[in-house]
Amino acid sequence: MHPIPVILIFDIGKTNKKLFVFNEAYKVVYELSTQITELIDEDGFPCEDILALSNWILSSLDTVKKESAYTIKAIHYAAYGASLVYLNEKGALIEPLYNYLKPLQEATKNSFENKYGSLDEISLTTASPYLGNLNAGLQLYRIKKEKPELFQKMKWALHLPQYIHYLVTGELASDITSIGCHTMLWNFENHGYHHWVKEEGLDKLFPALKSAVGLHDSSAALIPYLSSFHEPFLLISTGTWCISLHPFNESPLTSNELKQDALCYLSYTGKPVKASRLFSGKEHELGVLVLNNHFKKSSDYYSTVKFNAMVPIATAFNMKELSEYKDYETAYHNLVAELVRKQIISTNLIIANTNVKRIFVDGGFSHNEIFMNLLAKSYAQYEIFAAAIPQASALGAALVVHKNWNTQSIPTNLISLQYYSTKNKIQNHT
């Protein structure tokens, strides 16, 4: 039996680290996954165990290489954003990989603004709302100011997808989907690093921009949709963050949009993708925990609750007064309704006054029939679909290098759709 040609994709999330092997029909023929216990940095804040992750990537690669059933034609990578890995002049790893949720000191923010002026103007130019350490550029600024001894050791700064590429190939490179993702590094008007980045000398830490050296996972997840649909659409990618992505909205980002956590990503082609974000997955997780404690239910009980159009929905969800709800089911409907209300506000930031007729929802909330039905009811003017793409980020990372490894045409059935009508009837589509 001849070995089949395959592509190997590392898909590294905050929680789950995965390796997928796709055949030429983009079917997964092999996979590995793990979760890695976090470490704490010198300030006691949780952070990725970058050494353990590196070892898992290399050992997983060795495992697949030993499989005689496959001929590896290409390797690519998708990973979470806003995370920088630092290397010294010998190319060796400098720990730790700081957590992007770590608070940025107010003094550091003030120092930046005193030197470069209001963050509002820089945010507008870089399409990056101020997010503290979620702005990768400010992570570097923080280290330069607060930890000069660490900064002195630094020769290269790689976003996580490009670090994985370096780990596997030894090539140093930067990628536009990572550099152009709420980093406060990239000037969207001049198509280069912002002047503050150059003035601080931070641009010298980033290797040259290249293609096919790894993708920011949110940008990667959009690629299967762009491959499959050519009429304008909006994608709500749900998980810990719920990100509305509008690749067909070409209007410039406004200061009002920025203040409400809208931003622009750069696609792998360098085209801006307007986006808005919510922390809804985390809010859902915390809300469910409170409901479980109050109503004495198991941790996964919420997943058994079916949509009921007759459940009364209040104008706001009151987490602190759960006695207002007669049972868990009523309270949970109201929790999800609150998340949908926030989702509408967030999505409206970027969908208003555009010619989109279809909204796709993928990720965790696409499987939540309460969320999907309430969204369809609120957005009666749009066609609402729950979209199922197994391993969307990994698939996107594979598709973007299709011509480099695959002799077949891209399949037309990559995405399965469920249509949610305003009459709460679910229809299946492909």
How distant is the alpha carbon of residue 84 from its chain centre? 15
Number of H helices, E strands in the chain: 15, 20
| pLDDT above 80 (res 67) | yes
Reported as a single tens digit per residue, the pLDDT across 153-174 is 999 999 999 999 999 999 999 9
CA distance 99 to 139: 10
- Concatenated DSSP letters for 88-124? -TTS-EES-B--TTSPPPHHHHHHHHHHH--HHHHHH
CA distance 100 to 103: 8
Reported as a single tens digit per residue, the pLDDT across 367-408 is 999 999 999 999 999 999 999 988 889 999 999 999 999 999
How distant is the alpha carbon of residue 324 from its chain centre? 36
State the pLDDT at residue 53: 98
Comparing 184 with 353, the larger pLDDT belongs to 184
Sort strands 70-79 and 215-216 into parallel, antiparallel or unpaired: parallel
**Residue for token digits 């590196």?**
54
Reported as a single tens digit per residue, the pLDDT across 128-151 is 999 999 999 999 999 999 999 999
* Confidence category of residue 430, pLDDT binned at 50, 70, 90: very low
Architecture per CATH, 4-213: 2-Layer Sandwich (3.30)
State the pLDDT at residue 318: 86
Q: What share of the chain is helix, strand, coil (3-state, %, to 5)?
A: 40, 25, 40
Mean pLDDT of the chain: 94
Q: Which of 254, 236, 245 is nearest to 274 (CA)?
A: 245
CATH number of the 217-280+337-429 domain: 3.30.420.40
Residue 302 and residue 336 in contact, taking contact as beta carbons nearer than 8 Å = no
Mean pLDDT of 18-40: 97
Residues of the chain with CATH 3.30.420.40: 4-213, 217-280+337-429
| pLDDT above 80 (res 425) | no
Reported as a single tens digit per residue, the pLDDT across 301-327 is 999 999 999 999 999 998 889 999 999
